[in-house]
Amino acid sequence: MSAQTDALPQSRPALSGKDNDADHLRIIPARRTGQWAAAVVVLLLLALALNSVIRNDAFQWDVVGDYFTTASVLRGLGLTLWLTALVMALGFALGTLLAVLRLSTNHVLQAVSWGYVWLFRSTPILVQLLFWFNIGALYPEILGVRTVNLLGPVTVAVIGLTLHEAAYAAEVVRGGILSVERGQIEAAQSLGLGAWRRFRRIVLPQAMRSIVPPAGNMLIGTLKGTSIVSIIAVQDLLYSVQLVYHRTYQVIPLLLVATLWYVVVTSLLSVGQHYIERHYARGTAGTR
């Protein structure tokens, strides 16, 4: 009987008042005085910089307001947006084809795709535009049509920018397709789905999670990169403000007009990119 009594668990001693008080102690986070001081300094410097920009008469903000919504500037902005949309659509269409060729089992098609990407990623976009702009020196006629009349500045800009963007789009699409697990494709094959249906219903929706972020960055980069077409006299946003300040000699305020429009459009595109990324990230870890 005594042995059984010894085997019973001993009753826990009553907690002292000190132990009870410990349960109610409040955890105080460590103070980060240095971080707050750095944040205050940064905000102060930003405020000083913003104040100097606003109060500096050399920026001529009244001139910026006068030209911000003029007809010539808006026409240049419209051409910039149209050129960006067209180049991205054609560039990703060609880039998707190149990505499919690169992932094929045919070594010749793989080599053609690799060679295209290598060539156009190795050549500066300005050199490509100037080359296409002077294509008439190599081929004065194509199918009986003079290239001088066939390839105007806008056509040259579309061709040059599209071929350039397709090389980068091919790598973006290829990386997105490779990010899809092989088991997903094998499961779709076991269900008897055709190649096009597998790509459209299984591969592409999952690949979009990896394609959308770099594609959004490419879109913003293309929007700003279209300003280079002003070198071949395409009347985009930058060329439109250049025409004005060549006449009025108000260089700084007109450049600010173009800068502000680029900031506005890129900000709107960034917001759209955020929501598209969130749409395709549904069901992944860290998303709601």
Task: Convert the pLDDT of each residue in 130-189 to its tens digit.
Answer: 988 888 788 777 777 777 767 788 988 999 999 999 999 999 999 888 888 877 777 777
Element (H, E) at 95: helix 71-102
Give the separation between CA 206 and CA 275, rounded to whole angstroms.
16
Give me the amino acid identity at 128: Q
- The answer on pLDDT for 1 being more than 70 is no
For the chain, give the mean pLDDT: 84
Q: Are 52 and 205 in contact (CB under 8 A)?
A: no
Q: Which domains does the chain have, with CATH numbers?
A: 67-280 (1.10.3720.10)
CA distance 243 to 19: 80
Q: What number is the average pLDDT over the span 31-57?
A: 84
Q: What is the DSSP letter of 25?
A: P
The DSSP H or E segment spanning 141 is strand 141-142
SS3 38: helix
- What is the C-alpha to C-alpha distance for residues 179 and 171, in angstroms, rounded to an integer? 12
Question: How many Å apart are CA 40 and CA 203, to the nearest integer?
Answer: 48
pLDDT over 80 at 121, yes or no: yes
Q: Among the listed ranges 64-68, 119-123, 147-151, 212-216, which one has the minimum average pLDDT value?
A: 147-151
Say what the pLDDT of residue 284 is: 62
- Per-residue pLDDT tens digits for 216-268: 999 999 999 899 999 888 899 999 999 999 998 889 999 999 999 999 999 99
Question: pLDDT tens digits for 80-111?
Answer: 999 999 999 999 999 999 998 998 888 999 99
Tell me the Cα Rg of the chain: 30
Question: In the structure, what pLDDT confidence band is assigned to residue 2 with cuts at 50, 70 and 90?
Answer: very low
- Of 89, 254, 235, 99, nearest in space to 161 by CA: 89
Least confident of 43-47, 77-81, 203-207: 203-207
